[in-house]
Amino acid sequence: MPNSATAGGFLLVLAIVLPIAGALLSLVLGGRHAERVALIVMPTGVVVAVAIAATIWRTHSVLQYFVGNWDPPLGVAFRADGLSAVMIVTAALLICGIGLFARTQFPTPRGVEARASLAFWTLLLAIWGALNAVFIGGDLFNLYVALELLTFAAVPLVSLDGSAETLAAALRYLLFALLGSILYLLGAVLLYGAYGTLDIVLLSSRINAEPAAWAAISLMTAGLLAKAALYPFHLWLPPAHAGAPAPASAMLSGLVVKAPFFIVVRLWFDVMPRVPERTAAQVLGLLGAAAILFGSVVALRQARLKLLIAYSTVAQIGYLFLMFPLAIMPETGHPWNSVAWTGGILQAVSHAFAKAAMFMAAGLIAEALGHDRIAGLSGIGRALPTTVFAFGLGGLSLMGLPPSGGFVAKAMLLTAAVAEGQWWWAVVVLTGGLLAGGYVFLVLAKALADTSQPVTLRSRISQSRQTLAVAVALCAVLLGFVPLRPLELLQIGRPNTAVVDVR
Amino acid sequence: MTDATLYGLCGAALVGLGLFGLIVHPQPLRKILAFNLIGGGAFLLFGVVARRGASAGLDGDPVPQALVITGLVVAFAATALAVALLLRLFQETGRATLRSDDSQP
Domain containing residue B61: CATH number: 1.10.287.3510
Residue B16 lies in a domain: yes
Surface of B (3-62) touching A: CB under 8 A:
15, 22, 28, 31-32, 35, 38-39, 41-42, 45-46, 48-49, 52, 54-56, 61
Peptide bond before residue A72 is cis, with ω within 30 degrees of 0: no
| Chain B contact set for A193 (CB, 8 A) | 45, 48-49, 52, 54
At residue B83 the predicted structure's pLDDT band, cuts being 50, 70 and 90, is very high
| Domain membership flag for residue B74 | yes
Helix (H) or strand (E) holding A65: strand A63-66
Q: How far apart are CA A459 and CA A368, in angstroms?
A: 5
* Contact of A314 with A237, CB cutoff 8 Å: yes
Tell me how many domains chain B contains: 1
- Look at residue B84 and tell me if it is in a domain: yes
Give the per-residue pLDDT at A497: 41
CB distance from A275 to chain B under 8 Å?
no
Q: What are the pLDDT digits (tens) for A362-388?
A: 999 999 998 889 988 888 888 899 999
Over residues B96-105, the mean pLDDT reads 57
Q: Provide, as residue numbers in chain A, all residues whose Cβ is less than 8 Å from the Cβ of B78.
A: 148, 151-152, 174, 178, 181
Please state the ipTM of this predicted complex.
0.92
Q: Inter-chain contact B101–A196, Cβ cutoff 8 Å? A: no
- Classify residue A68 as exposed, middle or buried by CB count within 10 Å of its CB (0-12, 13-18, 19+): exposed
Residue B105, domain member (yes or no): no
Q: Are B74 and A148 an interchain contact pair (Cβ–Cβ within 8 Å)?
A: yes
Of A163, A182, A192, the CB nearest to B38: A182
Residue A260 near residue A224, CB atoms below 8 Å: yes
Q: How far is B97 from chain A (nearest CA, A)?
A: 8
Strands, E assignment, A383-469: none
Cβ pair B55:A73 closer than 8 A: yes
**Closest by CA position to A16, among listed A120, A168, A135, A160:** A135
User: Cα A263 to chain center, whole Å?
Assistant: 11
Tell me whether residue B98 is in a domain: no
Q: Which of residues 450-479 of A touch B (CB under 8 A)?
A: none
Determine the average pLDDT of the residues in A144-169.
93
Domain assignment of residue B102, yes or no: no
pLDDT > 90? residue A196 = no
Confidence band (pLDDT; 50, 70, 90) for A116? confident
- Name the 3-class secondary structure at A78: strand
Q: Which of B46, B51, B95 to mutate to test the interface with A (most CBs of A within 10 A)?
A: B46
Would you kindly state where each structural domain of chain A is located, as residue ranges? Answer: 284-491
Query: Is the pLDDT score of A495 beyond 70?
Result: no
Identify the sign of the CA torsion A244, A20, A177, A359: positive
Q: Do A193 and B54 touch (CB under 8 A)?
A: yes
Question: What is the span of the domain harbouring residue B49?
Answer: 3-93
Q: Which residues contact A489 (CB under 8 A, 6 or more apart)?
A: A53, A56, A57, A82, A85, A86
Q: Does B63 touch chain A (CB under 8 A)?
A: yes
Average confidence (pLDDT) over A474-489: 87
pLDDT in tens, A273-312: 666 677 888 999 999 999 999 999 999 999 999 999 999 9
- Res A9: pLDDT: 85
